[in-house]
Amino acid sequence: MPLSRIDPAQYSLQLAEKLAQFKLDFARFGLPEPEVFASAPLNYRMRAEFRIWHEDDALDYAMFNAANPKVPVTIEAFPIADPTIAAAMPRLRERLRASETLRRRLFQADFLATLSGELLVTLIYHRRLDEAWEAAARELADELGIQLIGRSRGQKIVLGRDWLLEEFELNGRQLRYKQIEGSFSQPNGGVNRQMLGWACAQSAKLGGDLLELYCGNGNFTVALAPLFGRVLATEVSKSSVHAAQFNLEGNAVENVAMVRMSSDEISAALAGREVFQRMKDIDLAQYEFSTIFVDPPRSGLDPATLELAAGFDNILYISCNPQTLQDNVAALQATHAISAAAVFDQFPYTHHLECGLLLTRRPK
Q: From the candidates 118, 212, 215, 320, which is the catalytic residue?
A: 320
Closest CA to 164 of 124, 115, 237: 115
- 320 is annotated as an active-site residue: yes
Q: Measure the CA–CA gap between 359 and 332, rounded to whole angstroms.
A: 9
Nearby residues of 317 by Cβ (< 8 Å), 6 or more positions away: 293, 294, 295, 325, 328, 356, 357, 358, 359
Beta bridge mates, 27: none
Q: From the candidates 212, 235, 354, 355, which is the catalytic residue?
A: 354
- 200 is annotated as an active-site residue: no
* Enclosing H/E stretch for 193: helix 189-203
Q: Measure the CA–CA gap between 312 and 336, rounded to whole angstroms.
A: 9
Closest CA to 92 of 129, 146, 149: 146
Hey, CA dihedral for 203, 207, 212, 216, is it positive or negative?
A: positive
Annotate 70-90 with b (16+ C-beta within 10 A) or e (fewer): eebeebeebebbbebbbebbe
- Residues annotated catalytic, as ranges: 320, 354
